[in-house]
Amino acid sequence: MKNFIKWFLATLLILVLWTFIRVASTTNGWFIEAIAEPGNTREFLEATIEKIKVTSNGNASMLLIEDGQIFAQFNSSRTGTVSMHSIFGVSSLGKWISAVGVMSLVEQGKLELDAPVSKYLSRWKLPDSQFNNSGVTVRRLLSHTAGLTDGLGHNGFPAGEMVQPLVEHLTNALDADDGVSGKVAVGIQPGTEFKYSGGGYNLLQLLIEEVSGTSFEEYMQQAVFTPLGMNNSGYQLPENNLAIYYDSDGKKRLYPNYTSLAATGLFTTAYDLYLFVTMHLPGSKGEPIGRGVLSENSLKEMRKVHASKMGLAIWGAGPTLFVDNNQNDFIIGHGGLSPSLNATARFNPATGNGFVMLETGNRALSTDMAMQWTLWEAGKPGMFILRNLIPPMITQLLIGYLVILISMILIAYLRRRKSRMNSPTN
């Protein structure tokens, strides 16, 4: 019995060590190489430019930010000219900016983060569900933890066509992706899990209108864009300086129009996004953190952990939490993805370093380069790289467990056999 206990404890110890080593090597990226040496900004820039040149099928505008300043820009165009002032549709990236608009109303005392959203709504209400709808709070809508199961995703409405009114869209979105409900309703107990919801941000759009007494567009212009100097940002297709929307075959597309302005309808520039992300730092002329749009405390609240998955922090009250930045904070940001359009903005509040890229003509080129930037900046993989690494890690863990158990059983068998052979016979 004593030998069995020793064997069991030894086996358990080896299994624990194997688990620790395999999980640590994955989450810390021990065997993943960045495209440039840590701290070598010039090398990273050159590798990024080369990737864009080789891969881009349309238009691209990229900014590399160092210590709160634009270190370099690179622009690529299939035809014509693109600059950091060219306007792109940015799809879901706009959710991060919308969240700042919501938080400005919280700071004004017009909203409570943990109050039921129904407290503020008069034009529409959540349909009855088996769960308590009062658990759908402003904070949970911001962090995709309100239990909504709409699955949105928006395709938008063709250029020239009327968009669906917001209240009707909340009830049943006509531009929903295939295979999702498109109905903003509670299908999971609020507060129990992360479930990405474009419909939640449509509800926040209505909330802003109800509380501010003005249109969503007007409020965002007055509360966010104008104070930050984001002079080329808005929710209507601009007449000038619009980057051509290409598909992956290099053919021109038309940008759609959206009901879902807060979730996916923003048009902006790489430079305006630079102004937005650097609001997390003091200004070069002594402007306070937040630039009068939000306080430093509110910005910190937004990047606290509000949602986790598989033990990893993934979302704040608006921004994505891509990876721990080793300074008790996170590299934050958001991405946007729709057919042949991809946008990303990421920022490290501890260093003032960031990455912005907008493009059309590729499905995920901006996201791919931003993942490389996050790995290079933090020295470990962000959540999207980890999402791809975790399934093979689990497979390798299981294979390792099997090998360890077989080996330990074999060792125990051979030791017992040897002990019997060496024992005196009668």
pLDDT per residue as tens digits for the range 188-203: 999 999 999 999 999 9
Among 66-75, 250-259, 407-416, the least confident range: 407-416
Residue 23 clears pLDDT 70, i.e. is over it: no
With contact defined as beta carbons under 8 Å apart, do 73 and 84 qualify?
Answer: yes
Read out DSSP for 76-128?
E-SSS---TT-BEE-GGGHHHHHHHHHHHHHHTTS--TTSBGGGG-SS--PPP
38 phi-psi bin (left φ>0, alpha ψ -120 to 50, beta other): beta
Q: Is 35 helix (H, G, I), strand (E, B) or coil?
A: coil
Amino acid (one-letter) located at 97: I
Rounded to 5 degrees, what angle do the CA atoms 37, 43, 49 make? 130
Q: Is 49 helix (H, G, I), strand (E, B) or coil?
A: helix
Query: Looking at residue 351, what DSSP letter applies?
Result: T
Assign 426 a pLDDT band (cuts: 50, 70, 90).
very low
With contact defined as beta carbons under 8 Å apart, do 142 and 119 qualify?
Answer: no
Residue 147 clears pLDDT 90, i.e. is over it: yes
With contact defined as beta carbons under 8 Å apart, do 181 and 149 qualify?
Answer: yes
What average pLDDT does the segment 63-73 reach?
97
Tokens 């349309």: give the residue. 58
Assign 19 a pLDDT band (cuts: 50, 70, 90).
confident
User: What is the Cα–Cα distance from 96 to 273, expressed in whole angstroms?
Assistant: 11
What average pLDDT does the segment 55-82 reach?
94
Residue 89 clears pLDDT 80, i.e. is over it: yes
Residue 264 clears pLDDT 50, i.e. is over it: yes
Assign 393 a pLDDT band (cuts: 50, 70, 90).
low
Centre a 10 Å sphere on the Cβ of residue 281 and count the other Cβ atoms it contains.
20
What average pLDDT does the segment 228-236 reach?
97
Given this model, what pLDDT does residue 53 score? 94
With contact defined as beta carbons under 8 Å apart, do 257 and 161 qualify?
Answer: yes
Out of 3.40.710.10, 3.30.1050.10, 3.40.50.920, 3.30.70.270, the CATH code matching 41-380 is: 3.40.710.10
Assign 388 a pLDDT band (cuts: 50, 70, 90).
low
Residue 22 clears pLDDT 90, i.e. is over it: no
Q: What are the extents of the domains in the chain? A: 2-30+389-419, 41-380
Strands 341-348 and 245-246: unpaired
What average pLDDT does the segment 21-31 reach?
62
User: What is the Cα–Cα distance from 182 to 166, expressed in whole angstroms?
Assistant: 13
For 134, phi then psi, to 5°, come to -70, -10
